[in-house]
């Protein structure tokens, strides 16, 4: 009988962040004739039974019903979404009898864990939690997918069994080529200056995590009229203050853009430098996205960036005022040759492309199935 693996993520089709992007891409990459029947379960979008892709009913976290129910039961609307998504997957569990359910949403996993204790042995499944936040041990699940070796080793030091901690980094669709549309044409299309160096930072527009106010302040302190700061990201409660601050400090040398996920690559292509001022990221997908376009990547110096990027970035202590400014003063005079750009793209492709990681993920699932 064909071995079945569920990849389940309620936000696919509604939310565009790490969990959803990763789960969608993993399924698209690995859903091939490889001895395992992969099935994708998502919260929105079209069913495609031919591709084994199913949309499950749920109260979406941003919807009025989830918010109303959450208020009544004193729970976050996100948990309401997770529970209703869990209820909808129960018939699929009985119908298909999966060997593995692979997921990133913690509460969804807890519901599955509790439900498993109630069902007959023939319907039981292994739970593989993809720890993208990341959460610290102890873990309740059978296996944990760690996207950084840093987290795997930390979990083992804190008492988790080595054989249950499965390390494979997040994958990306990367083209190992420098052939891109003309930068000048793209800048014209996006209404960006042709005669200035463009620094791009990508992420939720806030100051508490992505620290975009810090980037604005540090770029402004360079006191150069030939530098343009472009912030690309979704807005939230404090975004207006950050955007207003950018306009006040940088004037015409500042712009904020909200884009669809399939458009983000255009902004990497028009940029000259990429910066992210977060002091902590669970993985930091944007690091790899920027590197895959050959950009000089300027980051805070900590364990995640050291493991992810190695020597293929410029690091400094961004917790300090002036840290990014000094790094820019060091980096700006460096000639960004085609050879340098190519080395970054090749590094990203070899280490983080789906072409390179498909077999590792397949081995991960086979290891869990063999342990069943």
| Structural domains for the chain | 3-173+354-370 (3.40.50.2000), 183-352 (3.40.50.2000)
User: Quick one: which of 232, 226, 178, 233 has its CA closest to 198?
Assistant: 226
Q: What's the pLDDT at 122?
A: 84
Q: What's the pLDDT at 372?
A: 73
The CA-CA-CA angle for residues 213, 216, 219, to 5°, reads: 150
CA 80, CA 27: separation in Å to the nearest integer?
Answer: 25
* Rounded mean pLDDT, 167-181: 85
Q: Is the distance from CB of 147 to CB of 131 less than 8 angstroms? A: yes
CA dist 62 → 3, 56, 58, 351 (Å): 35, 16, 11, 35
Q: pLDDT tens digits, residue range 299-331?
A: 999 999 999 999 999 999 999 999 999 999 999
Q: What element of type H or E holds 268? A: helix 264-270
The neighbouring-strand residues paired with 198 are 228
Q: pLDDT tens digits, residue range 99-140?
A: 999 999 999 999 999 999 999 988 999 999 999 989 999 999
Q: How high does pLDDT run on average in the chain?
A: 94
CA dist 137 → 154, 279, 317 (Å): 9, 21, 28
CA dist 339 → 168, 294, 312, 342, 344 (Å): 28, 10, 13, 5, 9
CA 283, CA 219: separation in Å to the nearest integer?
Answer: 25
Q: What's the pLDDT at 139?
A: 95
* Rounded mean pLDDT, 68-80: 92
Q: What's the pLDDT at 1?
A: 55
Task: Please report, rounded to a whole number, the percentage of residues in the chain having pLDDT higher than 70.
Answer: 99
Lowest mean pLDDT among 12-21, 86-95, 194-203, 306-315: 12-21
Q: pLDDT tens digits, residue range 202-250?
A: 999 999 999 999 999 999 999 999 999 999 998 888 999 999 999 999 9
Sheet holding 197-202, edge to edge: 254-257, 227-232, 197-202, 273-276, 297-300, 314-316
CA dist 78 → 14, 24, 63, 140 (Å): 12, 19, 10, 20
Does the pLDDT value for residue 351 go beyond 60? yes
User: Quick one: which of 142, 104, 134 has its CA closest to 19?
Assistant: 104
Q: What's the pLDDT at 260?
A: 80
* Rounded mean pLDDT, 5-28: 90
* Rounded mean pLDDT, 326-338: 95
Does the pLDDT value for residue 348 go beyond 90? yes
CA 293, CA 271: separation in Å to the nearest integer?
Answer: 10
Q: What's the pLDDT at 259?
A: 83
Provide the 10 A C-beta neighbour count for residue 275: 28
């Amino acid at each position: 009988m064909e071995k079945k693996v569920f990849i389940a993520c309620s936000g696919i089709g509604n939310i565009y962040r790490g969990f959803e992007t990763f789960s969608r891409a993993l399924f698209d990459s690995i859903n091939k004739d490889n001895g395992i029947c992969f099935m994708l379960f998502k919260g929105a979008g079209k069913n495609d039974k031919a591709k084994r892709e199913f949309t499950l009913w749920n109260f979406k976290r941003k919807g009025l019903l989830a918010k109303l129910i959450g208020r009544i039961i004193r729970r976050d609307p996100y948990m309401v979404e997770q529970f209703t998504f869990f209820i909808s997957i129960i018939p699929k569990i009985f119908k298909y009898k999966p060997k593995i359910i692979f997921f990133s949403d913690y509460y969804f996993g807890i519901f599955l864990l509790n439900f498993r204790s109630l069902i007959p042995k023939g319907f039981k499944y292994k739970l593989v939690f993809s720890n993208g936040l990341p959460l610290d041990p102890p873990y309740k699940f059978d296996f944990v997918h760690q996207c950084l070796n840093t987290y795997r080793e930390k979990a083992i030091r804190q008492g988790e069994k080595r054989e249950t901690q499965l390390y494979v980094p997040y994958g990306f669709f990367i083209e190992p080529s420098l052939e891109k549309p003309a930068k000048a044409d793209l800048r014209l299309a996006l209404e960006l200056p042709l005669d200035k160096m463009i620094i791009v930072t990508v992420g939720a527009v806030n100051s508490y995590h992505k620290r975009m106010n810090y980037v604005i302040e540090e770029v402004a302190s360079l006191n150069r009229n030939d530098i343009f700061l472009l912030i690309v990201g979704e807005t939230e409660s404090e975004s207006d203050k950050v955007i207003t601050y950018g306009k006040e400090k940088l004037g015409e040398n500042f712009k904020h853009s909200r884009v669809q996920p399939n458009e983000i690559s255009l902004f990497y292509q028009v940029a000259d430098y990429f910066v992210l001022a977060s002091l902590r990221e669970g993985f930091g997908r944007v690091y790899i996205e920027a590197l895959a376009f050959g950009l000089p990547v300027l980051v805070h110096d900590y364990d995640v960036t050291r493991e992810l990027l190695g020597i293929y970035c410029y690091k400094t202590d961004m917790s300090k005022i002036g840290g990014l400014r000094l790094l820019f003063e060091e980096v700006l005079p460096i000639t960004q040759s085609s050879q340098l750009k190519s080395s970054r793209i090749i590094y990203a492709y070899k280490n983080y492309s789906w072409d390179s990681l498909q077999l590792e993920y397949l081995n991960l699932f086979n290891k869990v199935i063999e342990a069943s």
